[in-house]
Amino acid sequence: MDKLNPLAIIELQNILTDKNIERLKTNFIKRNFCNEDKPEDIDYEKGILYHYDSHKNDLVPKKFEDFLKEKLWSITNNIQSEIELSNILLKSKEKIKYWQSILNSFDYIKTKNKTVFDLLVITAF
């Protein structure tokens, strides 16, 4: 596996922790809180900032959930690229090891970060 350096699954593993999700949400709120365009309301728990849109004459939400979806989509695409590359570069035995490491990583993410998944499911609804 000299030519393949699979980092995307590790990135996913690192991002899906309670601490990192909260940090990302806090940073999202800070980045989107501008003095010039101050939000009318903020739901810190859900990570939603509401800005007034004069064209719509209504409050428009800017959601952490959307930001997180984009970030997870990017990581997922990177994982897919690494998997496709593994199919080209690795021999059969190496592929089996690689796939086992991917499955182990997903199991680890699922068991270690159950509260994150619970939080994401609650936030989505």
38 part of a folded domain: no
Please say whether the beta carbons of 14 and 74 come within 8 A.
no
CB 32 within 8 A of CB 49: yes
94 inside domain: yes
Range of the domain at 20: 8-31+64-124
The pair of three-digit structure tokens given for residue 60, joined into one six-digit string:
């428009």
Cα–Cα dist 125/113, whole Å = 19
Q: How many domains does the chain have?
A: 1
What whole-number distance in Å separates Cα of residue 13 and Cα of residue 84? 20
In contact, 79 and 12? CB cutoff 8 Å: yes
Whether 112 is covered by a domain: the verdict is: yes
Each residue's pLDDT expressed in tens, for the chain with a length of 125 residues: 456 778 898 999 889 888 899 999 999 999 888 767 788 899 998 999 998 888 989 999 999 999 999 999 999 999 999 999 999 999 999 999 998 988 998 888 888 877 776 666 555 54
Q: Is 40 a domain residue?
A: no
Question: Domain for residue 41, yes or no?
Answer: no
